[in-house]
Structure 1
Amino acid sequence: MKDKERQKNLKKGRNIQTFNIIYDSTEVVVSLIAGFSSGSSALIGWGLDSVVEVISGSTLWWRLNGELKDISEEKVKKRERLTLFVIASSFLIISMFITYDSVTKLINRETPEWTTLGLIILLVSLVINPLLIYYKYKYGKKLNSQELIADSKDTFVCLYQTIAVLGGLLAVHFLNWWWADPVAALLIVPYALKEGWEAYSNGKKVKTE
């Protein structure tokens, strides 16, 4: 059996992921409704980012829960490796969609409409995401878990994107900068690609045998 301190930290890490999955699922529903109704590429991209976060968060929950159930070290390592690859793939998918959607909106000069619903979920996320980042990183360090640390960076990408999307939404509404929304979405791509590559590289380093 694992030592009691590690078991305690594993349970807390798993609880954080459980909350994260529930909250991100809420983000998905609200942001996609607001994004498609207003025509905001930034909000749609942000919502799809949340879809990917639900997938990667669920995979990480599976990995942490496996260790709590005292599965073999080899199986833990395999789950860790798979989790890092899921996180890396998540960053790539996010980057591809945001780039395509934003460039399309720029070419067509599409201006999104104002959305109060979108504003509300963005403001709530400005409060929730920093807390998730802190606790994921904290327990990632305690557990020496590269995948939990990588997931904290994934959430940081979401926070960064939240700020960019919120700025774009306000700029379009108050300054009539039609291009601010897709540009705000594009700002996330370089960072997302960098962190995706880092997660992939860490996954390659995990020894499963």
Structure 2
Amino acid sequence: MEKERGKYLRKARKVQVYNVIYDTIEVVVSLIAGFSSGSAALIGWGLDSIIEVVSASTLWWRLNGEVKGISEKRVRKRERATLYVIAISFLLVSAFITYDSISKLIAQNPPSWSTAGIVILVISLVVNPILIWYKYRYGKKLDSKELIADSKDTFVCLYQTIAVLGGLLAVRYLDWWWADPVAAFLIVPYALKEGWEAFQNGRKIDV
């Protein structure tokens, strides 16, 4: 049993490494494209990717600790810290998206077209479901609340990807200037819900 757990821990750790690498690319491309085009949705999506990098890095730290054989108490401490980081990540993203979306709605300033933004969004529609599947699978195998929470964090990113892409296309082809900030704002309720759940799970861990 311990040997099998070790195998899944190493696989889950590797997934987090891939997650960090890809999300770093997302951050660079989406923020450059977002600020260049004035897209609230792309900027919000890029900031969410920063949170994903932080979350995935923290989770790698927790998984790596268990792989290296640290004590059970230290593992639990890392589990709790990871869940708190995920919860705070959701809160920060929600706060920024709310502020930026409302500002853009008030200003009524539609974003410019961004080919680079569209390309990275489409690529993410392929990459994120793969990451979600592996995180959730290993989370179940390891009975890891933080891995499952991180899979939901990535699902938020996927959901936002669809919303942002739809919003940009609506601005471009339907001339709906409001679609971009509305697309960004759609993610907030789900993000807050999942952030609260991660926080509650963190509080339940006895260290």
TM-score by length of 2: 0.99
CA offset at residue 199 of structure 1?
Answer: 0.2
Say which SS state the counterpart of residue 59 (structure 1) adopts: helix
2:123 paired residue number: 124
Say which SS state the counterpart of residue 113 (structure 2) adopts: coil
How many residue pairs get aligned? The number is 207
1:137 paired residue number: 136
In 2, the alpha carbon distance for the partners of 1:4 and 1:30 equals 40
Q: CA RMSD in A?
A: 0.6
2:56 paired residue number: 57
1:176 paired residue number: 175
| Structure 1 ranges of 4+ moved more than 6 A | none
Structure 2 unpaired stretches of 5+:
none
Cα displacement string for residues 122-153 of structure 1 (whole angstroms, at most 9, x for unaligned residues) = 00000000000000000000000000000000
- The residue type equivalent to 2:19 in the other structure is N
In 1, the alpha carbon distance for the partners of 2:151 and 2:10 equals 17
Say which SS state the counterpart of residue 70 (structure 1) adopts: coil
1:155 paired residue number: 154
1:4 paired residue number: 3
Say which SS state the counterpart of residue 70 (structure 2) adopts: coil
Q: Which residues in structure 2 correspond to 1:1-209 (within 5 Å)?
A: 3-208=2-207
CA offset at residue 204 of structure 1?
Answer: 0.3
Structure 1 unpaired stretches of 5+:
none
Say which SS state the counterpart of residue 5 (structure 2) adopts: helix
Cα displacement string for residues 78-127 of structure 1 (whole angstroms, at most 9, x for unaligned residues) = 00000000000000000000000000000000110000000000000000
In 1, the alpha carbon distance for the partners of 2:69 and 2:15 equals 19
CA offset at residue 3 of structure 1?
Answer: 1.3
In 2, the alpha carbon distance for the partners of 1:23 and 1:180 equals 27
CA offset at residue 177 of structure 1?
Answer: 0.2
Percentage identity across paired residues of the two chains: 72
